[in-house]
Structure 1
């Protein structure tokens, strides 16, 4: 059976590195006919899965420095057909790419907003007067380098090698242990795995409304590895809550907790249980 994987492009993005890592893992599971398809945005990659254009999409959901990738959570809530099949954690090492000979010459820096945020302390120290301009991907930022030697981009060293552009500084992210979690999404229900992700809205915005849902998991002895709020987009001050549970949907006490959760939430959406797959070295070579 052929498998097509959608991801944020163009070539050289960290999302492509994650897709290559996932392809390598699939190959180790005896899958051989695997293709990669690029999309101009994370939103379009996710929508492609819902439309059946690709078998699955691999998209970033959380970074260890900058936190949540909001478009992933918001779109997963909106598209009811999608489920999380696997997770993958990719180390992120940013490089400073420019034709300038020293950082003081740089006046403008292009990159994805997540990358700019992950390097903000380095940028403030090395290029304090530079203007920061967001792009849809780190690789897209490279197309501006030929406009002027005062322009720089932040992307991977692999991308710099692919497009044959010079690297001025390496490992510029603000923490050496920078990493991003990716989710593999498709339309198949997933029940087994060490983690379960879900989201819910509350029937009323009042004191203690969120306390009861959280108490349910505490009473069931289920640890929450992440809790994130996102606006409902209906009214100011109304939020959705995204949770990652250290539990599987196959567990009886997880099912009991979810039944209790239904009684104190307005809308409850389950995105599936999944495991985190290992990332082999050299996947982007």
Structure 2
């Protein structure tokens, strides 16, 4: 039975490209031919794995310009059962797609909130009066064009090619080194690797956060990231996402996690994993064409 991989759709999103790159790598490594399953949102993508509808999911977790993709973190905490298998870093290039001949006629620009934010400087310079309208994905933004020269959409070169829409300007992202980190998740145990991700809540007492962090400091375990998110239980109540430069299979790390559990209210460990090199996969159009797709999950 083919391995199914969920991602944010429709076809043409950066999440789809990340899923394709991972599927190509998996096919070369195992001989399996995965099936891609596009979903209308990141939350639905993750829930599809949690509910057993698909085997794995590829979701964005952090952008080098805009930071964390909060819906990914919030849904991962909410589900609590998913394990990270791999990470993949993908260079992101945004383009302005439109039927307009020049930017002067554009009055509205549609795209995913992350894409709009990553192009904020360019938009303020070249389209300062345009209304910016968020969409569920960069590909969903394209349905608003409809031969209308007053509308533009921020999407990818791949989407422009798939849907035969002219590119008016590219690249329009504010920083050339614009990259997004994706996680591949499933219900299976993580394979181990030099990165470990977890999240926890603490008791509402003075110094409550210091004790968990000291657990790692005492053992020389480096934290590459720590970020707070609201628990949504009450104002001022937070949970903390942490990335470690360590493998949870290491006895010293296991001891740290056991002590961490004693110093937190709730602890969820999302696994240890490695980072797939994305560069060898870029531009493999033959591989992209060979990937199979399941039926639509759009209502």
Q: TM-score range by the shorter chain?
A: over 0.9
Equivalent residue for 1:165?
165
- What SS does the corresponding residue of 1:146 show, helix, strand or coil? coil
Alignment of 1:202-241 (within 5 A): 202-204=202-204, 206-241=205-240
Within 5 Å, give how 1:128-139 maps onto structure 2. 128-139=128-139
Q: 1:223-248: per-residue Cα shift (whole Å, max 9, x none)?
A: 11111111000010010100010000
Q: Is 1:197 the equivalent of 2:197?
A: yes
The structural deviation recorded for 1:80 is: 2.3
Q: Which runs of 4+ in 1 moved over 3 A?
A: none
Q: Note the C-alpha offset of 1:147.
A: 5.7
Counterpart in the other structure of 2:246: 247
Farther-moved stretch of structure 1 (169-178 vs 187-196)? 187-196
Change (3 A) 1:259 1:191: farther
Q: Is the 8 A contact 1:192 1:250 kept in 2?
A: yes
Cα separation, 1, equivalents of 2:140 and 2:284: 21
1:281 aligned residue: 282
Deviation at 1:190, TM superposition (A): 1.4
- When normalised by structure 1's length, the TM-score is 0.97
RMSD after superposition = 1.1
CA distance in structure 2 between the aligned counterparts of 1:191 and 1:251, rounded to whole angstroms: 13
Corresponding residue number in structure 2 for 1:107: 107
SS of equivalent to 1:29: helix
| Contact kept in structure 2, 1:191 and 1:250, CA below 8 Å | no
SS in 2 for 1:73: helix
Match of 1:21 in 2: 21
Shift of 1:30: 2.2
The yes-or-no answer on 1:90 pairing with 2:81 is no
Deviates more, 1:138-147 or 1:53-62: 138-147
- Alpha-carbon shift at residue 219 of structure 1 (Å): 1.2
Provide the TM-score with structure 2 as the length reference: 0.93
SS in structure 2 of the partner of residue 183 of structure 1: strand
Q: Give distance in 2, aligned partners of 1:138 and 1:281.
A: 19
Measured after TM superposition, the shift of residue 27 of structure 1 is 1.3
Distance (whole Å) between structure 2 residues aligned to residue 31 and residue 231 of structure 1: 42
Displacement of 1:49 after TM fit?
0.4
Q: Which residue of 1 aligns with 2:149?
A: 149
